[in-house]
Amino acid sequence: MTLPPSGAESLQLGQMTPLPGSPDEARLDRVPNPHPGTDYLARFTVPEFTSLCPVTGQPDFAILVIDYVPDQWLVESKSLKLYLTAFRNHGAFHEDCTVGIGLRLTELLGPRYLRIGGFWYPRGGIPIDVFWQTGEPPKSVWLPDPGVPPYRAR
C-alpha cells in the first residue's frame, strides 16, 4: 500500500470526493500530529457501520469504537468516514471487517497503540463482537470504557 502525500493540498478534505466503490479503493489520508511528544487517546465511534454478509449478501450492522494513541500521524476524519462507508457494499465476515480496519489504520499511522471493537448486531440470534489491539496502551493514557453495553437488545 502506498501512503498518501502529507501535504494539505492532497487531502480529500475540503473538496468534493466521490464515494469509493470498495474499502480497497478507498484512500485514507493522514495528517501530522501537532503533539507528537504527548501521549493522548483519540476515539472514533461509528454507530451505524454497515457491511454485507459474504454468503447471503444481507446487510450486517455494527457499532465500531476505534481508539488510538498517535505517534507522528493522525487519520484525517473525512477520509476515515469515506473508507468506512465503502464497506456498505462490501462482503466480509465481522472478524475480517473489524480486524482489517485495525490493521489498515495501524499500517497507515504507525500509532503507539490502537484498539478497535466491533459490536455487531445479531443475525440468526447470535451477536458476534470482535476486538483487536496492537499491544498494551501507554501507561500514561486514560483508556475509557468503549461505552457500548453488552448485548441486551442494543
Question: What pLDDT is stored for residue 2 in this prediction?
Answer: 45
DSSP 52-71: E-TTT--EEEEEEEEEEE-S
Counted residue by residue, the chain has a size of: 154
Q: Give me the amino acid identity at 89.
A: N
Contact present, 63 and 148 (Cβ < 8 Å): yes
**Active site includes 97?**
no
Indicate the pTM of the whole model.
0.90
Low-confidence ranges of the chain (pLDDT < 50): 1-3
Where do the domains of the chain lie, and which CATH numbers do they carry?
21-133 (3.30.1130.10)
Question: What pLDDT is stored for residue 10 in this prediction?
Answer: 79
Catalytic residue among 24, 29, 39, 60: 60
Catalytic residue among 24, 29, 39, 53: 53
**Active site includes 129?**
no
Question: Cell 468516514 identifies what position?
Answer: 81
Question: What pLDDT is stored for residue 140 in this prediction?
Answer: 96
Q: Please give the Cα distance from 33 to 38 (Å, whole number).
A: 10
Question: What pLDDT is stored for residue 1 in this prediction?
Answer: 44
